[in-house]
Structure 1
């Protein structure tokens, strides 16, 4: 009998960290202030605030002030966080069947870091393409 267990939060975190490690050095340095947290689902209050009814619809979230809004005179007091939600990621991965878990976690990770850096959707896609 095969031992097939779902990827753990630690597995998802390792994939996200590997994605960040593949970024160009100047981006890695700037990304160093962002902490990644992997949870099974978003908390109900986050889902309510975002008007999301099904927790499986939210695979990632950025919390913080984007770098483009930071300034020397008005620094953010909030540490930037990227949340990756394990079960929505795993359900999407299983439902799609056309991407690897590494590709999907990289996509969600880059998308959430994009909010931190102020990247456009085009920039996010260009960065993801460069990681392949």
Structure 2
């Protein structure tokens, strides 16, 4: 899958977010990178499909200095677990929903229980 096709899958996944929910997503940038580079304190074999970095809405206190939150999708690991272009679109959608949910303060435990793990 080309970079443009992968980016289109990300755009399609973001477009699936209901408008009333999308309107509440504030100060978030979405990026695509090839793969996650584990931090020195992490297991060097850590593989992520996506990562949310920021202050969840449930924890914000009106910090005027806050940088935009960041959602990163990792193309390489997603492509490795998918067999078809449709699998990629579905996995990107699940990953986008998962990371956006973190923006709203929803935990991994809750997401796994709801089938968005």
Q: TM-score scaled by structure 1?
A: 0.71
User: Structure 1 regions of 5+ residues with no counterpart?
Assistant: 1-6
What CA RMSD, in Å, does the superposition of the two structures yield over aligned residues? 2.5
| Partner of residue 44 from structure 2, selected from 48, 53, 56 | 53
Give the helix-richer structure, 1 or 2: 1
Aligned to 1:22: 16
When Rg is computed on C-alpha atoms for both structures, the one with the higher figure is 1
Structure possessing the higher relative contact order (Cα contacts under 8 Å, 6 or more residues apart)? 2
Distance, in Å, in 2 between the alignment partners of 1:51 and 1:36 is: 23
Aligned to 2:76: 87
Q: TM-score scaled by structure 2?
A: 0.78
Question: 1:37-116 residue pairs with structure 2 within 5 A?
Answer: 37-43=31-37, 47-49=38-40, 51-54=42-45, 57-72=47-62, 74-75=63-64, 77-94=66-83, 100-116=87-103
How many residue pairs align between the two structures?
112
User: Structure 2 regions of 5+ residues with no counterpart?
Assistant: none
Distance, in Å, in 2 between the alignment partners of 1:69 and 1:76 is: 15
SS state at 1:16 partner: helix
Bigger CA drift: 9-18 or 107-116? 9-18
